[in-house]
Amino acid sequence: MTVQPLLSVRHLTTEFQLAGKQIARALEDVSFDVMPGKTIGLVGESGCGKTTTLMSIMRLLPASGRITSGNVYFNGIDLLTLSEHEMRAHRWKEMSIIFQGAMNALNPVMKIGDQIREAILLHNLMPRNAAEQRVGELLELVGIPRLRRDLYPHQYSGGMRQRAMIAMALACSPDLLFADEPTTALDVMIQAQVLELLKEIQKKLGLAIVLVTHDLGVVAEMCDDVVVMYGGKVAEYGSAELVYNQPQHPYTQRLLEAFPDLSRSIDSSTDLATIPGTPPRLNALPPGCRFSPRCHKSMEICTQIAPDLIAQNTAGNAQHLAACHLLNKLEIKNS
Ligand SMILES: Nc1ncnc2c1ncn2[C@@H]1O[C@H](COP(=O)(O)OP(=O)(O)OP(=O)(O)O)[C@@H](O)[C@H]1O
Ligand code: SF4
Ligand SMILES: [Mg+2]
């Protein structure tokens, strides 16, 4: 029996209204699948659209953001066709998110346990007395002793605060968890513990995870599939094994050359910026391939026509796609 994706993102395009009525297209034609119980990594430099992808799927974009086309199927239902009221049946309850930098946004004057309880009550899950029981269960799930529910955020270490955020995101037992840079601010030892915890919880609950990270070592360690994004588009997408062992897109190749030792975790200060040049500004996107100003393999066609995302030769059922003119030999011959 073929397993159906839990989440299918299709041709997602999101724009932001900037000052002076200028429009910036932050995502263009983004597609990928998330399988039940699996982990997919979203990777790419700062500003490539990782957070915008998650916020678009959760329908939590700020007022200046708008999804202009595409579909987001969750269990076969297109979330983009739902009213806000209908969407509430899915958001937090079936899909949940640990926001980027969230552990630093905990309320400093409220006990951790109370903050988790308020999250449960906010989603109308259960009466107040039952919610208290659930707080204890959630804390235990993330490895925090129940007795620590009465401590304040400043009495928790960074790793403990992130565990509390994970507990909060799991309050409604979702099937899918978006984790936006969940370990970036933590030191390497604690990063490893938090990732291990996510893996354990995934196994226990059968959770699917979309993991946003700058760290290719983390992707190699954690992910079944990977989406490499560049300038708001998908540059390469496939099983982590294929993308790592047979990278097709020059951008992915450069990323992997920059971090040859994938078993070694890096911190965010030494992130992907080691590739010469800077990512494109959304209000000044280059014509053709968005990577062309930085690509060591750029050809004439690259500055004129954007490459399509096309399937690469792979054995068996493994999926592997990349968007680069070099990979479409017929197109180059005819150009
Ligand atoms: N509220 C907003 N208004 C205007 N532009 C925005 C807004 N939010 C994001 N953008 C733009 O959309 C693009 C994608 O941003 P996004 O935050 O999704 O990137 P990211 O990949 O998550 O980056 P990082 O790794 O730094 O978190 C960026 O160019 C950003 O400036
Ligand atoms: S399409 Fe051209 S510029 Fe873009 S990645 Fe491929 S070779 Fe480089
Ligand atoms: Mg982000």
- In whole angstroms, how far apart are CA 167 and each of 131, 136, 172? 13, 10, 10
CA distance between the termini of the chain:
43
Indicate whether 228 and 316 sit together in one domain. yes
Q: For residue range 52-109, what is the model confidence (pLDDT) as tens digits?
A: 999 999 999 999 999 999 999 999 999 999 999 999 999 999 999 999 988 888 999 9
What pLDDT shows up at residue 261? 57
Decide: 166 in ligand 1 pocket, CB within 6 A. Answer: no
What distance in Å separates the CA atoms of residue 44 and residue 9, rounded to the nearest whole number? Answer: 18
Return the residue whose CA atom lies nearest to atom 3 of ligand 1: 16
Which tens digits make up the pLDDT trace of 315-332? 666 789 999 999 976 554
> Is residue 99, in this structure, part of any structural domain at all?
no
Same domain, 201 and 301: yes
Q: Considering every ligand atom shown, identify the ligand nearest to the alpha carbon of residue 180 and give its number.
A: 3
* pLDDT tens for each residue of 149-158: 999 999 999 9
In a domain, 284, yes or no: yes
Ligand 1 centre and the CA of 46: distance in Å?
Answer: 8
265 pLDDT more than 80: no
Residue 146 domain boundaries: 108-166
Tell me if 235 CB under 6 Å of ligand 2.
no
The answer as to whether 137 is a domain residue is: yes
Ligand 2 atom closest to the Cα of residue 249 is 5
As for how many domains the chain has, the answer is: 2
Q: Considering the domain boundaries, does residue 103 fall inside one?
A: no
Whether residue 30 is found in the same domain as residue 86 = yes
Domain with residue 187: its CATH number is 3.40.50.300
| Residue 134 Cα to ligand 1 middle (Å) | 35
Answer whether 302 contacts ligand 2 (Cβ < 6 A).
Answer: yes
Q: Which of 45, 39, 12, 36 is nearest to 272 (CA)?
A: 45
Angle, alpha carbons 176-172-178 (nearest 5°): 30
Q: Is the CB of 41 under 6 A from ligand 2?
A: no
Report whether 221 contacts 242 (CB < 8 A).
Answer: no
Tell whether 73 and 178 lie within a shared domain. Answer: yes
Cα separations in angstroms, 239 against 110, 124, 196, 222 = 42, 38, 21, 12
17 and 160 assigned to the same domain:
no
- Domain match, 238 and 330 both: yes
